[in-house]
Amino acid sequence: MRLFSRVNVPFLNPAAQFAALRTDILAAVEGVLAKGHYILGPNVAAFEREVAAFCGAKFGIGVNSGSDALTLALKALGIGPGDEVITTPFTYIAPSESIHQLGAQIVFADIDPRRFTLDPAEVARLVTPRTKAIIPVHLFGQAAPLDELAKLGVPLVEDCAQAIGATFQGRPVAGQGVLGCLSFYPTKNLGACGDGGMVVTNDEALAKRLKMLRVHGIERRYFHDIHGYNSRLDELQAAILRVKLPHLAGWNARRAALAARYDAGLAGLPLDLPTVGVGNSHIYHVYAVLSDRRDALQAHLAANGVPTIIYYPQPMHLQQCYADQGWKAGDFPVAEAVSRRILPLPMYPELTDEQADHVIAQIRAFFA
């Protein structure tokens, strides 16, 4: 007999966070609306200071999105045609897209098979005199090996879109490279109710340049000293994010507790569970397992109240938009193998123990 108490586990649930913080968020929004200072107001300035401090950096520059954070960061470094930037093919498109937007050459390096971040030995092989930056993506919530990458002597632009609050060798990510890029996309560990991003840095000259780049290249209104963009963090989003920031450490701790629950519940199954790299603290933006039977497992979970989304089903070097770049299947075998086997499980602070146990039970049933 089928029971009607079937547990349903949404894959993501950003509205649950709003429900928990409703009173404070609505008060923050009303405060902004009533004041009428909607662009680059006091909440953006305060949030920039708060995030910079959280990341162990001196300056924060709020921008439109994590994608723009990367583009403006590369632009601030003066990267353009003739330059090469090394990044990973196993991630969201934003890092390679930012390189392409500036007319520079994307150079992909393969990844580590267990932590899914750039393999520093692969990166080292690809550094040339034209290499102007490396974008390590701290994928799923843990840092790429920043110490080994830093030894290559090329500026690091950290993509921390998925890793705010993670540490490497005891220090927060984002403040370790020359520039650190953050996303506040709604499903991120610190998510806005719309788009938002930030670049953090300890370099005052780069901070000044970024502040100009995000607002049409101006320092003084209507005097455009450099070519810029319109890419500002919205005052309303900053006000909402300021309500959420004090909760971030607690939310990340809850994610880690859920990851430990998954680890224990899934132990012994023919799955590769997440591994945490040496020197890393993991904030579990994503908890993903690897399975040779990934597609069948995903279908089984979907049929039992656990829909999932694959990150990432096709590595960047095989995307249609890069067909003219000459990459082909087999170029980055680790990234390709991981994209065939990876299965992210539901992971957010509001996920209940009961829901996590349901996911575990369904996975165990699949392999039974």
Ligand X SMILES: Cc1ncc(COP(=O)(O)O)c(C=O)c1O
Tokens for 295, please give them.
Answer: 């597609």
The stretch among 40-48, 54-62, 91-99, 209-217 that binds ligand X (CB under 6 A) is 91-99
CB of 283 to ligand X, least distance (A): 13
- Three-state helix/strand/coil letters over the chain: CCCCCCCCCCCCCHHHHHHHHHHHHHHHHHHHHHHCCCECCHHHHHHHHHHHHHCCCCEEEEECCHHHHHHHHHHHCCCCCCCEEEECCCCCCHHHHHHHHCCCEEEECCECCCCCCECHHHHHHHCCCCEEEEECECHHHCCCCHHHHHCCCCCEEEECCCCCCCEECCEECCCCCCEEEEECCCCCCCCCCCCCEEEEECCHHHHHHHHHHCECCEEECCEECCCCCECCCEHHHHHHHHHHHHHHHHHHHHHHHHHHHHHHHHCCCCCECCCCCCCEECCCCCEEEECCCHHHHHHHHHHCCCCCCCCCCCCHHHCHHHHHHCCCCCCCHHHHHHHHHEEEECCCCCCCHHHHHHHHHHHHHHHC
Give the count of beta carbons closer than 10 Å to the beta carbon of residue 137. 26
Q: Does 156 sit near ligand X (CB under 6 A)?
A: no
- In terms of phi and psi (left: phi > 0; alpha: psi -120 to 50; beta: otherwise), the region of 49 is alpha
Q: How far is the CB of 163 from ligand X (least distance, A)?
A: 8
Binding mask 16-55 for ligand X (x = CB under 6 A): ----------------------------------------
The answer to whether residue 71 forms part of the interface with ligand X (CB under 6 A) is: no
Q: Kind of pairing, strands 157-159 and 179-183?
A: parallel
Question: Per rule CB under 6 A, is residue 137 in the interface with ligand X?
Answer: yes
| 162 belongs to the binding site for ligand X (CB under 6 A) | yes
Query: Does 183 sit near ligand X (CB under 6 A)?
Result: yes
**Least Cβ distance, residue 309 to ligand X (angstroms):** 13
User: Is residue 91 involved in binding ligand X (CB under 6 A)?
Assistant: yes
161 binds ligand X (CB under 6 A): yes
Residues 51-70 that bind ligand X (CB under 6 A): 65-67
Instruction: Answer yes or no whether residue 315 interacts with ligand X by CB under 6 A.
Output: no
Residue closer to ligand X by CB (options 66, 165) is: 66
Binding mask 345-364 for ligand X (x = CB under 6 A): --------------------
Q: Is 252 in the site for ligand X (CB under 6 A)?
A: no
CB nearer ligand X, residue 194 or residue 265: 194
Q: Would you count residue 94 as binding ligand X (CB under 6 A)?
A: yes
| Position with the least CB separation from ligand X | 66
Residue 277 Cβ, how far from ligand X at the closest point, in Å?
17
- Of the listed pieces 22-30, 41-49, 148-156, 158-166, which binds ligand X according to CB under 6 A? 158-166
Interaction pattern, residues 195-234, with ligand X; x per rule: CB under 6 A: x-x-------------------------------------
Give the total of residues touching ligand X (CB under 6 A).
Answer: 15
| Pick 183 or 280: Cβ nearer ligand X | 183
Beta partners for residue 39, in sequence order:
234
Nearer to ligand X, 160 or 289 (CB): 160
Rule CB under 6 A: is residue 339 a binding residue for ligand X? no
Handedness of CA 80, 83, 84, 85 (dihedral sign): negative
The site for ligand X (CB under 6 A) is made up of 65-67, 91-92, 94-95, 137, 159, 161-162, 183, 185, 195, 197
